[in-house]
Amino acid sequence: MSKDLTTPMLLSQPHRRYNALSGEWLLVSAERTNRPWLGHEEFPQPDDLPTYDPSCYLCPGNVRANGERNPRYDSTFVFTNDFSALRPDSPAASFSDGLLRAESERGECLVTCFSPRHDLSMSRMNAAQARAVVDLWSTESESLGRRFEWVQVFENRGSAMGASNPHPHGQIWAGNARPREAEREDATQRRHFEATGHNLLIDYAQQEADGPRDLGSDDDWLVVVPFWAAWPFETLVIPRRPVSRLPDLDDRARNSLANRLIGLLRGYDELFDEPFPYSMGWHQAPFDGIQRPHWQLHAHFYPPLLRATVRKFMVGYELLSEPQRDITAEEAAERLRSAINAADPAVAQPGG
């Protein structure tokens, strides 16, 4: 179990931290948030959205860009992305010329609407509504996993993270190639398991529980600002028991996850008193029929904001050398815990 940090280096001095999940290092430069800022500022998206927007291509009954009309859905809704990055009918092909290599990739891209309400982000949902989203992620992962090896569930929230529509929604992309992040995390988790006989992220969850970076976990889930966080208010969500994929979550774990996500996201919105932008995604074991006892399901949340209107840019040193953060993970966790505790538990809209 983690203890309070007393090492001055970790509290206030520039230092590097090791990311046990990616196998990479990052630079921590505490107190750089005090520097003056004259660069680009982000402005929050409106918080007074209507429950229904006739011009929104994701609202029930509306026509999408391809001319198809959405059903008048009353819970969650899934459809094939009208502008998919992957297609299931791409012809098999490859190219190789010395150092130049390319190969075709088949796949499928889905849009997942979390609610028929245009204004109901997950941070405003009640437990039943959030549980429906968890079930949606699980059901679609299982279905896509029958045909594709890698299933990536993710959500971009807010224009600062490239979301093209404020309607609460995410995406699922599936393909047969295992992407870079999957390869890294498979390798680090496998090495730890082969060396210790233990699951890396379960060991990490046990070490972090009730520590200075814990954001309010329960018996089923750890929610934490990871020791190695690169983004200012990055968080990691990990089941406390062995589970490799979203479809493997039992009823209790799904209910608990819904509540943990609501608490975290309300805390994010409370932090700067605005709808908080982020990219989040689930990393689950490949659906290739191979048992991977070393792989633990987990979700990453990558919010960009360092201050209310100032985002963290991964540029310069970060692009050319290694990630760098401006506040310690411990300070970020303390601020997030305070925001989570201060968030209004009745923020979900009546009748949503």
φ and ψ of 236, to 5 deg: -130, 135
Rounded Cα distance, 206 and 122, in Å: 28
Name residue 107's beta-bridge partners.
175
Q: Which of 167, 169, 294, 298 is catalytic?
A: 169
Rounded Cα distance, 306 and 301, in Å: 14
Q: Does 283 qualify as catalytic in the annotation?
A: no
Rounded Cα distance, 63 and 82, in Å: 12
Structure tokens at 204: 């990490």
- 23 membership: H or E segment, kind and range: none
Rounded Cα distance, 200 and 189, in Å: 6
3-state secondary structure of 187: helix
3-state secondary structure of 320: helix
- The answer to whether 277 and 303 have CB atoms below 8 angstroms apart is yes
Neighbouring C-beta atoms of residue 163, cutoff 10 Å: 19
CA-based nearest residue to 209, from 198, 199, 220: 220
Rounded Cα distance, 272 and 220, in Å: 28
- Spatial strand order in the sheet of 298-302: 77-80, 107-113, 169-175, 150-157, 278-283, 298-302, 235-239, 221-224
Structure tokens at 129: 């509504």
The residues annotated as belonging to the active site are 169
